[in-house]
Amino acid sequence: MRIGVDLGGTKIEAIALDADGRILDRRRVASARDDYDGTIRAIAALVSGLESGLGRTGSIGVGIPGTISPRTGLVKNANSTWLIDRPLDRDLEKALGRPVRLANDADCFALSEATDGAGAGMDSVFGVILGTGVGGGIVLGGRLAAGPNAIAGEWGHNPLPWPTDAERPGPPCYCGRSGCIETFLSGPGLARDHGEGLSAEAVAASTAPSAQAAIARFEERLARALASVINILDPHVIVLGGGLSKMERLYHGVPELWGQWVFSDGVATQLRPPVHGDSSGVRGAAWLW
């Protein structure tokens, strides 16, 4: 049995899979925001609940909004800032009494969709998260790419490519820079660009001219940002995840646009929605084993 945990900013979800990827059980609780020790306790309680209910133990993988630094062994690059500079993997292993594998949540999403989702059978998959933040993960030949700095796929903290004058210098980002892709293509970024106090979900659902104009800007910026990924990685398929991936117009609109920035006479890369939807991150965490 494999257990996956998705440590999000608003919820923590745990899932148990059998060897064929079938869901045996799943549970979720609200995140213990700004409470590191509470986060450890919440994960341990979820795992204990799954194992007690199923009567067996399993391997444990955890997807986190950040990564473990190979240099320090501590969490870095997390927008759930209460995790930063903490030895999360070691503290979880102590609480759970066994080895735990951690990976970035976008990496987990990419691994899930490459294993038995929208990228199954493809040699190269780029998984994208368009949610509270913007992240990415790379799977090559069925294996998750990590890299020596543990930041493979972190496209959200590159500058928005080919910016217009109106987009410079760009909104400030929590990473300390301005104009990151995340500041434009995250949910908060879409809401900010639209203005008028609407949430990203409300903007995406609206037919008002102002909302449609904001979505068109989002679509064009996404095309530019993904074109830069195609120019470097040339993936067979790009899979979108996160709340904003539910905008159906992206799957035909973005490929119609990105060719003008891709350094090729044609673009064979496919843009697909996720097969496992909101469950991809937690499934991918389980597949870390």
Nearest to residue 283, comparing CAs of 80, 2, 45?
A: 2
pLDDT at 78 over 90: no
Burial of 110 (0-12, 13-18, 19+ CB in 10 A): buried
Sheet architecture: strand order including 100-104: 23-30, 11-17, 2-7, 59-64, 100-104
- Tokens 């820079």 belong to 177
* Cis? peptide before 169, omega within 30° of 0: yes
What structural domains and CATH numbers belong to the chain? Answer: 2-107+282-286 (3.30.420.40), 118-273 (3.30.420.40)
Nearest to residue 269, comparing CAs of 124, 113, 110?
A: 124
Cα dist from 277 to 227, 230, 235, whole Å: 23, 23, 20
Q: What angle do CA 54, 22, 29 make, to 5 degrees?
A: 60
Lowest mean pLDDT among 146-155, 225-234, 237-246: 146-155
Phi, psi of 56 (to 5 degrees): -155, 165
Radius of gyration of the chain (CA): 19
Q: What is the mean pLDDT of residues 236-244?
A: 96
- Position 11 scores a pLDDT of 87
Query: In 141-284, where do the E strands start and end?
Result: 143-144, 237-241, 270-272
pLDDT at 172 over 80: yes
Calpha distance 56→152 (Å, rounded): 34
Q: How many helices (H) and strands (E) does the chain have?
A: 9, 12
Farthest CA pair distance, the chain: 60
pLDDT digit string, tens, across residues 97-129 = 999 999 999 999 999 999 999 999 999 999 999
Residue 208 neighbours by CB under 8 Å, 6+ apart: none
| Residue 8's pLDDT band (cuts 50, 70, 90) | confident
Which tokens hold the place of 258? 């990105």
Which tokens hold the place of 130? 């368009």
Calpha distance 109→238 (Å, rounded): 12
pLDDT at 79 over 80: no
- Tell me the percentage of the chain whose pLDDT exceeds 90: 90
The single-letter code of the amino acid at 225 is A
Q: What is the mean pLDDT of residues 16-32?
A: 93
- Position 80 scores a pLDDT of 87
- Tokens 């119609």 belong to 256
Nearest to residue 118, comparing CAs of 255, 254, 245, 256?
A: 245
Phi, psi of 171 (to 5 degrees): -65, 150
- Position 175 scores a pLDDT of 87
Calpha distance 153→233 (Å, rounded): 10
